[in-house]
Each structure stands twice: as C-alpha cells, then as structure tokens.
Structure 1
Amino acid sequence: MFMNCRRVRKWHFLQLVSMCCVMSILMVYWDHVDHHVVSHVKSYSYRYLINSYGFINKSLSVRPEEAARFGSFPYLLNNKDICKDKDVLLLLFVKSSPGNFKRRQAIRSTWGNESYISHKLGVIVKVVFAMGSDPGVLTNKLLQTKVHNENIINRDLVQQDFLDTFHNLTVKLLLQFRWTHENCAHAHFLMTADDDVFIHMPNLVRFLQDLRRQNVRNLWVGHVHKGAPPIRRRDSKYYMPSDMYQWSSYPDYTAGAGYVVSGDVAAKIYQAMLSLNASMHIDDVFMGICAIAADVSPQEHVYFSGEGKTPYHPCIYNKMITSHGHEDDIRYLWKVATDPQVEGISSGLVGKLYCTAVKMALLCKPYFTNTYSCMAAFT
C-alpha cells in the first residue's frame, strides 16, 4: 500500500513549520531557559561529580596581610560592651543600612525586644545592627548624625566606614564575625539575618535551648542551597563574572536571609576568613567557601525560609523560625504569630491532622516559592 505523496509533503511541511516555531521560541527565551534549566543541570552534575570544593579554597587563599585589608575599616560606631559579663544564648546580627530607621525600630519593638526575650523567654539574646556608611555624598553627613543619635538611645549599632551597598555585603559579613571574635566570642550561638526578616523568637529560643542542652557543635543551620549555579547574565543583581568565580557550581550554602551557627563554628569561620580572598560580593556564597576551610557543612531546617515570604496561617506560626520579605508588616505578623491561641490549634490528634492538611495545601505546590519546603507539612 503506497502513501499519498501530497500527504507526505504536507506532513514534512508541518514538521518544518513546527520546528521553526520551536527554534524561534528558544532563541527568544534562551537566556531564561539557559539559566533555569541548562545552568542548573550543569551545576548539579558538577557538584555531584567532584563531591569536594577544596580546590576552590586553595585558589582563593591569600596571605594574611592581603586578607586583612578586606575587612580593615575603622569603626564609626562600636558598642563593645554589649555582651560583657553576660551569658549570651544568641548574638543576633541584623544586616541593616543607615537609612532603614523604621525597620530597626520595628524589630526592637517586636521579635528583637531584648526585655521581652529576657522576661518572657528567660534567656539573653543580644540584637546588634551591622551597617556601613551611606553611599550618598549629599545625604551622608545628615544621615550619619541621625544614626549617631539613634545609637545614643539604643546602644545596639555597629558601623564601619565602608560604603553600605549590595556589592559590599561580604564586607558586612566580615564585620560580623570579626566583631563577634573580639567582643562576644562566648555567645553559644551566632545568627545573621536581614532587616526585612521576621524571626519567631519563642520558637527560635526553644530550638536553640534544646541544642545547648545537647551541647551541639559544628552547627550551621538554615535554608540550604545545594548545587546552585553562578548567574552569568549581566543584567542580574547576582551576576558573577567568570574571572571572579570560574567554576560551574557554588559550594553548598545557606540563604543569607537568616541562618545560625554554633559558637565553635563562628570561631572557625573567623579563622578561615583570615586567609581567603573576600572580593566576592555574594556573602552567602563566601560563607559557603569559608565553611569548606572550616570543615563545616550546612544543615537544612524546613522552617528557615529562603528569599520567599511564608504563608500566613496559625498552623505555620506554630513551627516557623524565619520568614523573609517583611518590610512593613513585622508588627502585624508578630502579633498574630505569637498569639497564645496559636498553640491550641495544632494540639491533639484532630489539630495535628488539620494542620498537616493545611500545610500541605499551602506548601506542597508544583512551583518554586523558595520559602518552606513541602517537607515542613509533615514536621
């Protein structure tokens, strides 16, 4: 039985047209496809093939004198006695910028209220705001005066004389670990967080108290990124040029929005920083590189968020640790998340089943949200 030649030609024509359409779409959206598919495939393959990033540290190793210059900025504000003679459970560094007065005040009156933490939770948590200087030439002097007055009232600012910009976040990371080493090395835990992060302090304190009772060491916990690829698109905020980082995959690291390390890890990270090139501007990744030198691996906690904001629901509040992206609603979230009635919602068998179903509906979605994973629904 013979096929009709006209039908064959028509079929070939349709194939050609379809292929042209597909190629056109790929050409238009190639950057998107390359970033979200190809680069991630390459990155994961690279990560699991090499299984070690020690060679990166060797490549980035520098003499101590050269490493010191990355963080050797004079202090503009330095409250050195914040931790003096205190049994500090947690030293919590909040990465802020000089102009973010409202954010800092919102934190002081909610989850960062040290008086509330001491009286209600029975522990000492010291909240310190880390910042550089304002990059604006015209606004710098007036703004600095306001920051100085803020510090007179609150005594919780640590500021060095470097430009407070996105590309100096690694400098701010150096500031935190250096200051901790010099002024609060006895703290049981160190946390770093952004000033638009909400922290459920009662849940965090319970978590850390359990760890302290177990005398946990080598702890680095947060929202872990594994096998993340460097972004090579120049229009991206996170653009990483090949001459700064030439490899196809970053080492594992935790999202910089908020993570915790134990005191021994803080000391080891500081020592690692004394011999590494800190010119890399992505502080999360640089932390991952330092951790390799310190022989520390990040541990996933399902209730530390990434760059995403957690869904608002009492079943979430009962377990949440951090949530990112809260510029204007920290006071509201603090009120509803710490409401005494929250604990009762998930109590008992019926409550647990109800909350598991709610969290599955909120968290187990087929698209990427970069907040809590689906696993959080079952914990």
Structure 2
Amino acid sequence: MFVMFRRMRKCQRVQLMTTCLVLSVVMVCWEQESAIVNHVKSYSYRYLDSGFLAINKSLTVTREQARAFSNFRYLLNNPDKCRDRDVLLLLFVKTSPENFERRRAIRATWGNETYIHSSLGATVKVLFALGAIRTKANEPSWTKRNAAVFQKQLVEENDLHGDLIQQDFLDSFHNLTLKLILQFHWMHRRCAHARFFMTADDDIFVHMPNLVRYLGAASSGDVADFWIGKVHRGAPPIRHKHSKYYVPLEMYQWPIYPDYTAGAAYVVSGEVAHRVYHATLTLNASIYIDDVFMGICGNAIGVSPQDHVYFAGEGKTPYHPCIYSQMMTSHGHVEDIYELWQAATQARETGSGLVGRLYCTAMKWSLLCKPWYQETYSCRAAFV
C-alpha cells in the first residue's frame, strides 16, 4: 500500500489526504455533536422548519392534567422565609434528603445569608428543595423504620435552620422536573417580589461576591427576558437505552431540544420566573431532565437563554486565582468548598494593570483552551 502511495502523483496524494482529513472532521463532528453542528441543526429547526412551535403544541395539556405534576403535599415548608420586601435573589438548591453535610457546608459558605447581607449589602434567601423518602409496601420493616428516622432528622434540621422545602414525591433523578416545578410554584406564591431566581445543584460552588455584584448591576437595566447560564443549543435527545439521560420517542419525539441552560446553576429574573410558573400550568412535565424542561418552558414563553462564560456546566473548573476572580459558578465541589469560599472572600487583586491582565489571559488560555471538549468554561472566558 505504501508503494502504491509513492507511485501516485503529487496532486493525487494531496487529494487523497485532503479527502481523508475532511472525512475525519465529519466523523468527529457527527460522533461528538460539536457546537457548530448543533448550531446549524438548531438554526434550521428553529427558523426553517418552525419545529419549536410544534414542540409547544405537542406538549400543551389541560390545567387539570398539568396539576398532576405540582399537586403534592408539603412535608416541610417555610412560608415566611421571604418576608423581607427587598430580596435581590431567591436561590433554591436542589438536594437529596441524605446530603446533610452538603447543606451544612453551603450554609457555612456561599449560602450564608448573614454574611451576604452584612458584607455584600444584599438580601439573598437560600432554600433547599427536596422530595420524600418513600418505601414500598413489600419492603422489610427495618427499611421503613430507617426512612422514618431519616425524615425525623430532616424535621430537626428544618427546625434549626428553617430552610427546607419538601414535597411528598419520591426524591429521585427521574423526579427532578417535579423538584424544579416545586421551586417556581413556591416562588410564585411566597417570594414573587424577589428580583431574581436561581436554581443550583448541591455540589455547586457559587462565588457569591461576584454574583451579587453582577445581579445588582443587572437589576438597574431591562431584565424582562433575563436568563443566564451555560447554554446548550441544538442538543439532541439521547436515544441509547442504557444512558442516564435516555428519552424515548413517546416521551419526546423531536430531533433536538429547545435551547436550555445546564441544570447545575442558572439565573432568571423574577419576571421570567413568573412567566415560567404560568407555563408549567399547561405543559406536560413528564420529561424528567429538568434543565431540558426549563428550555421547553422558555420556548413556550418566548425567552431564550444567554450564555455567560463564567457559569460552569458539568465539569469542575481548574483552580487558579485568575479564573476564580471572575467565576460565577463551578461544578463538582464538595470537599474543597471551604477552601474556595475562603479564597473568594479574601480581598486580593488579580490581573490588575496591563502586565497582570496579560498574565491572567495567558494563564486562562492555557487552562481553558484545551483541544478536547470539557464541560466547564469555554475558551472565550480566557479573553473576557
């Protein structure tokens, strides 16, 4: 084969190599669903096929049918949590009942309402959204006793901190959309005056000083369609049955999802949250991927998410002062949350002056602009 290649004319060899290169690029894009391919698919579906209008129509149900996704009894509630009138941000943390230590760490760090009010001059209300621990009728009695003890511990935790919102649906991955609906409905009823709403996972680190400054500045402008996070555009449903994110055709028949933000953390204005609440009253919420359902709600109300380069997706942000000085959120932090909080609250100039800015740009480029895809900050963040 090598001899045959040597005998080929130079132009033929160039053509062959070019063809192989093009085919390789096409195969990589096809396999990895690259951002460019997704943008093209999203654009064509949105503007050429008017497909997103069909999505709205196919998922619209009656109010009575939609009520099945929100009509759950409260097991734990704190209806007076938002009695302060001037609330900058209502922040819901999605958590599981057993994650006591994660909630404790959040209360002591970025979710410390007292620190935020005294040091940052803002009122932020932090709540934890969770479902119930359920047991089946045929399970052994000791399992049921353990579940009862667990629930008692949650009651004691809530008595101490007053920040758990729990409804009587099974707390599981497949009920994350129910947990999202819980948050929007609670805000509508109990904290509609908050200027912004945020939902986050309990393994997220939020750089609260940066976020408060950003939202304080944003609130002085037009926030009618405000929705920021790490945006996924033109993402296709996963049809592999063994995937955690498998969605069958009977649940969602369309080839792509509407634009949505990664469920790890995103922020919307109070006005958008109000409109999303009303969207949930007539939408089929059987799709259990909560961030996708949020994209469906956004599509229904005509609001598109805006990408913020310092909101992380699934990946953990590489540690460096030049990155953390600008970050909003980072995913995958449990053991190191106290160290990050200490770094975030220490007054330290990073990247000031021409030399400092050039240094930080170089460091961020080396850490973020990788040749392989990583679900954290994009390369664009290196130049912001």
TM-score by length of 1: 0.88
Q: Does 1:371 align with 2:371?
A: no
> 1:304 and 1:83 mapped to 2: Cα distance?
26
> 1:327 and 1:259 mapped to 2: Cα distance?
19
Of 35, 43, 65 in structure 2, the residue corresponding to residue 48 of structure 1 is 43
Q: 1:95·1:192 contact (CA, 8 Å) conserved in 2?
A: yes
Q: Does 1:209 align with 2:208?
A: no
> 2:38 and 2:254 mapped to 1: Cα distance?
9
* Shift of residue 128, structure 1, vs aligned partner: 0.3
> 2:101 and 2:239 mapped to 1: Cα distance?
35
Q: Cα deviations across residues 284-338 of structure 1 (Å, max 9, x unaligned)?
A: 1110011111110000000000111111010011100000111221111111233
| Structure 2 residue ranges without an equivalent (≥5) | 8-26, 137-142
> 1:354 and 1:236 mapped to 2: Cα distance?
41
> 2:350 and 2:69 mapped to 1: Cα distance?
50
Indicate the residue corresponding to 2:312 in structure 1. Answer: 305
Counterpart code for 1:243: E
Alignment of 1:200-349 (within 5 A): 200-341=207-348, 344-349=349-354
Indicate the residue corresponding to 1:186 in structure 2. Answer: 193
* Shift of residue 47, structure 1, vs aligned partner: 2.0
Indicate the residue corresponding to 1:361 in structure 2. Answer: 366
Q: 2:87·2:195 contact (CA, 8 Å) conserved in 1?
A: yes
Q: Alignment partner of 2:237: what SS?
A: coil
> 1:44 and 1:117 mapped to 2: Cα distance?
39
Indicate the residue corresponding to 1:352 in structure 2. Answer: 357
Indicate the residue corresponding to 1:101 in structure 2. Answer: 100
Q: Cα deviations across residues 255-299 of structure 1 (Å, max 9, x unaligned)?
A: 000000001000000001100000000011110011111110000
Q: Alignment partner of 1:255: what SS?
A: strand
Q: 2:38·2:233 contact (CA, 8 Å) conserved in 1?
A: no
> 2:288 and 2:154 mapped to 1: Cα distance?
25
Q: Does 1:60 align with 2:26?
A: no
* Shift of residue 225, structure 1, vs aligned partner: 0.2
Q: 2:29·2:37 contact (CA, 8 Å) conserved in 1?
A: no
% identical aligned pairs: 58
* Shift of residue 347, structure 1, vs aligned partner: 1.1
Alignment of 1:63-212 (within 5 A): 63-136=62-135, 138=143, 139-212=146-219
Counterpart code for 1:73: F
> 2:286 and 2:31 mapped to 1: Cα distance?
24
| Structure 1 residue ranges without an equivalent (≥5) | 1-6, 12-29
> 1:117 and 1:298 mapped to 2: Cα distance?
27
> 1:41 and 1:348 mapped to 2: Cα distance?
35
> 2:32 and 2:133 mapped to 1: Cα distance?
35
Indicate the residue corresponding to 1:18 in structure 2. Answer: none
Q: 1:302·1:372 contact (CA, 8 Å) conserved in 2?
A: yes
Q: Alignment partner of 1:230: what SS?
A: coil
Q: Alignment partner of 2:93: what SS?
A: strand
TM-score by length of 2: 0.87
Counterpart code for 1:181: H
* Shift of residue 252, structure 1, vs aligned partner: 0.4
Indicate the residue corresponding to 2:13 in structure 1. Answer: none
Counterpart code for 2:86: D
* Shift of residue 43, structure 1, vs aligned partner: 5.5
Q: Alignment partner of 2:178: what SS?
A: helix
Q: 1:364·1:374 contact (CA, 8 Å) conserved in 2?
A: yes
> 2:126 and 2:172 mapped to 1: Cα distance?
22
Counterpart code for 1:72: N
